Homo-oligomer: A and B are copies of this chain.
Amino acid sequence: MKKLINAPEAVLADSLVGVAAAHPELSVDHVNRIIYRGTPTPAGKVALISGGGSGHEPLHGGFVGTGMLDAACAGEIFTSPTPDQIQEATKVADSGAGVLHIVKNYTGDVMNFEMAAEFAEAETGVKVASVVVNDDVAVEDSTWTAGRRGVGLTVLLEKIVGAAAEEGRDLDSLAALAGRINESGRSMGMALTSCTVPAAGKPTFDLPDDMMEIGVGIHGEPGRHRVPLAPAASIAQQLVEPVLADLDFTGGPVIAMLNGMGGSPLIELYLMYGEVAKLLEKAGVTVARNLVGNYITSLDMAGCSITLLRADDETLKLWDAPVNTSGLRWGV
């Protein structure tokens, strides 16, 4: 295992030291492994909190900042944050207007966010609402989840609902918006190689040199099928078709993300986006906004995913609103 680390068990703690050093505008709670904005949530603003296992950076810590999250709870690599962590973040980030939990659909995450919400409500009376993101069309159930996995759409949802929260909308309307976004987006991913979890010290799965995994999850969970390596145009087709088959993306603007899994260079991600864009145009899908890059990764896995989100004027306005995080920044 070749990694830029000190010791497998210290990766998360050591990386948070780096985040704190690089981003004086953030506030890092090293004990509870929570990344907050540098200034407390303003009175009247609903706090947005997300989190999950580490290893998907910039998600979620890289999306803390104006226009996006108020706090991110970092679990160990590919491990849910604990209820205690989430409860602490919920209490600290709440300014009295309530807290929206943005949870990717993995069994441990859902359970721990639920427990944290109950504890926080019981202990301090903070109002908590939740959205569970489950946009992965690849498989209905997998190693880590009951129902569809939460993947790339989480990034888009955090941006859009984050902008709405910045406008001062209340908790119920933000939860409703988050639910609508979740229903309007779909993703599908693929891997050329496995990732290697530091604590495991070896690749999560074996993938022969001439094969790729279509429909892979962000922890290296098996996908729909293992198929022979193919040109980018074919890979794009194998990602786009199931997404379009699952939801109608014609008839309105779409936000598209071509996301890298962490180990694929940017030149390949742009190449893939070119192939995806051709297929979408052919299918009558109008891409109004796009993102190309590493936004929700799987450690050093080579591969990519696509996410499509049906948008409307409101969504696009919220998408375009200023965001100031290390992972996404514009308008500021």
Query: Residues on A close to B: CB < 8 A?
Result: 2-7, 11-12, 14-22, 54-55, 57-58, 62, 77, 192-193, 209, 212, 229, 231-233, 235, 258, 262-275, 277, 290, 292, 294, 297, 299-300, 302-304, 326, 329-332
The reply to whether A264 and B330 contact each other, CB–CB distance below 8 Å, is no
The reply to whether B232 and A302 contact each other, CB–CB distance below 8 Å, is no
Q: Assuming A22-B258, A266-B294, what are 14 further A-B pairs, CB within 8 angstroms?
A: A2-B193, A2-B209, A4-B235, A4-B264, A4-B302, A5-B231, A6-B271, A7-B231, A21-B277, A22-B292, A55-B267, A263-B263, A294-B294, A329-B330
Residue from the list B21, B229, B331 in contact with A2, Cβ < 8 A: B229
The oligomer's copy count stands at: 2
The reply to whether A4 and B54 contact each other, CB–CB distance below 8 Å, is no
Question: CB-CB < 8 A to A6: which residues of B?
Answer: 231-233, 271, 275
A31 to B62, CA, bound (A): 37
The reply to whether A4 and B192 contact each other, CB–CB distance below 8 Å, is yes
The reply to whether A274 and B17 contact each other, CB–CB distance below 8 Å, is yes
Indicate the member of A4, A15, A22, A231 with the most B CB atoms within 10 Å: A4
Please judge, given known A-B contacts A2-B192, A2-B229, A266-B62, whether A18 and B274 are in contact too, CB under 8 Å: yes
The reply to whether A262 and B265 contact each other, CB–CB distance below 8 Å, is yes
The reply to whether B18 and A292 contact each other, CB–CB distance below 8 Å, is yes
Indicate the member of A22, A267, A299, A332 with the most B CB atoms within 10 Å: A267
> Taking the nearest CB of chain B, how far is it from the CB of A258, in angstroms?
8
Question: CB-CB < 8 A to A274: which residues of B?
Answer: 14-21
> Taking the nearest CB of chain B, how far is it from the CB of A297, in angstroms?
6
The reply to whether A18 and B233 contact each other, CB–CB distance below 8 Å, is no
A54 to B332, CA, bound (A): 30
Between-chain CB contacts (< 8 Å), 13 pairs: A2-B192, A3-B268, A4-B264, A4-B269, A5-B231, A18-B269, A18-B273, A18-B274, A57-B266, A57-B267, A62-B266, A265-B297, A329-B329
